[in-house]
Structure 1
Amino acid sequence: MLRGKQKRFLRAKAHHLNPIFQVGKGGVNENMITQIADALEVRELLKVSILQNCDEDKEMVAAQLVKGTKSELVQIIGSTIVLYKESKENKTINLPS
C-alpha cells in the first residue's frame, strides 16, 4: 500500500509520461491486463488512457486493472489512470519512505 508521500513522488514522476494503453469500447479484457502487467514489469510506472467511447466508469476500469495486474493505483486524473508496480528484475524507481 502506497503512502501519501510515495503517491506524490510517483505523481510527479508520471507527469511527463504519455499514456501507452487505451481502454475503448471493448473495456478491459484478459489480453489487455496481460500486456499492461508485462509493461509494468519493464517500466514500473505507466499511464492508461480511457477513451470517450468506453462504456465503463473510470473508477471501475481502474479497479479492474489494479486487481488484474496486482498493481497500485497512483491516481485517476481526468480520463487517465496512473499505475505503479515494483519490478522484480528492472527496479529503477526508489520510493521515499
Structure 2
Amino acid sequence: METTGTLTETQKKYLRSRAHALNPVVLVGQHGLKPTVLEEITGALDYHQLIKIKLSVGDRDLRNEMIEQILQYSQSQLIQRVGNVAVLYRRNPDRPDILKEQAF
C-alpha cells in the first residue's frame, strides 16, 4: 500500500471536480468507526482511489476526530470536507492513476 505524496492545489481542485458527481460509498453512522467500516473504506480506496464518505454523527469535533482516524488508518489524503461528507484520495499503484488522465 503506497501512501500518496503531497498533492498540489491544482491536483486537489481536479479531484474535487471529479468527486462532485460521486455518491458516498461508505456511511458511518451512530455506531461509529468499527474495524469493518475501516476495512470497507480501505477496500473502496483500493478500487476507486477517490471516494466520498458520509459521517452521520452529531458533534463536529467527533466528526473531525473520526476523519483523522480514517486518514491515518487508510493512509489517504483528505481532498475536501463539506458538512458531513468527506472526499478521500489514495493512489493505487496497481490501477491506472486518475490524476494521470489530467495534464498538470
TM-score bucket of the superposed structures, by smaller chain: 0.7 to 0.9
Alignment pair present for 1:61 and 2:66: yes
From 63, 83, 86, the counterpart of 1:81 = 86
The share of aligned pairs that are identical, in percent, is 28
Gaps of 5+ in 2: 1-5
From 27, 47, 69, the counterpart of 1:22 = 27
C-alpha distance in 2, partners of 1:87/1:80? 22
Aligned in 2, Cα 1:28/1:55: closer, same or farther, shift over 3 Å? farther
Q: State the AA in 1 paired with 2:8.
A: R
TM score, norm. by length of structure 1: 0.88
TM score, norm. by length of structure 2: 0.82
C-alpha distance in 2, partners of 1:54/1:22? 16
- Structure 2 partner of 1:71: 76
Q: CA RMSD in A?
A: 1.9
Number of corresponding residues: 97
Q: C-alpha offsets along residues 21-42 of structure 1, whole Å, 9 cap, x if unaligned?
A: 1111111122111111111111
